[in-house]
Amino acid sequence: MDKDTQEIYLCGILTISDKGSRGERQDTSGPQLQEQLRSAGSYTISKYAIVADDPIAITATLKNWCDNEGLDLILTTGGTGVSPSDQTPETTLPLLDKVIPGISEMMRMASFQKTANAILSRGVAGIRKSCLIINLPGSERAARENLETILPGLAHALYKIKGGSKDCGS
C-alpha cells in the first residue's frame, strides 16, 4: 500500500457505561465522537454500541469489531477512571498486539493543562491486528478534548498501520 493518507477509514465508537447500557443515562460522548470523526472527513462510522463496564462485554465487542468487522479504528469512551467499576484499560491491554503509549501520554498531558484530574485517566492505545484502539474518558467534554488532541495524527497512524510506506517526516 503506497496510497496517501486521504483514505477513508472504518470506525467504531464503543461507549462503556453501566448506566448507559441500562438506559438510565443518555450517551453524549459517543455521538460527540462520531460527529468529530465525520467532520474530519477521513472517517466513516460503521459501528456504535453501548456496553456495561463488564470485561466480557468489552472484550467480545472489541474482538468482533477488530477481527470480524474489519474496522480500522475503535474509540472507546468511559471506564478509564479510578472507580471500582472502571475496567476499560485492563480489558483493552491484553487484546493489543502493540501498545502506542504516545497517544495516551499526549492526551493526558493536554488534559492536564485544563484539569488536574487528568492524572486519574488510565486509558491505553494500541493495535490489534490492523485496528487502532484508543480508550477515551467518558465525559463528553473530556472525550472531545482528548480526540481533538490526537486527531491531527490519526490518519497518518492508520495509514502506517495499514502498511503505508510513505515516511513519517514527508
Cα-based torsion angle of the residue sequence 122, 142, 13, 50 in order, rounded to the nearest 10 degrees: 80
Q: Going from the N-terminus, what domains does the chain have, and what CATH number goes with each? A: 9-161 (3.40.980.10)
Using an 8 Å Cβ cutoff, are 89 and 28 in contact? Answer: no
Using an 8 Å Cβ cutoff, are 72 and 9 in contact? Answer: yes
Confidence of residue 30 (pLDDT cuts 50, 70, 90): very high
Classify strands 73-77 and 98-99 as parallel, antiparallel or unpaired. unpaired
Confidence of residue 120 (pLDDT cuts 50, 70, 90): very high
Rounded to an integer, the average pLDDT of 91-104 is: 98
pLDDT at 165 (0 to 100): 81
Q: Is this prediction's pTM over 0.85?
A: yes
Confidence of residue 61 (pLDDT cuts 50, 70, 90): very high
Q: Using one digit for the tens of pLDDT, what is the confidence trace for 6-16?
A: 689 999 999 99
Q: Using one digit for the tens of pLDDT, what is the confidence trace for 130-170?
A: 999 999 999 999 999 999 999 999 999 999 999 988 776 65
pLDDT at 166 (0 to 100): 76
Residue 2 has pLDDT above 90, yes or no: no
Rounded to an integer, the average pLDDT of 42-62 is: 97
What's the CA gap between 131 and 109, in Å, rounded?
24
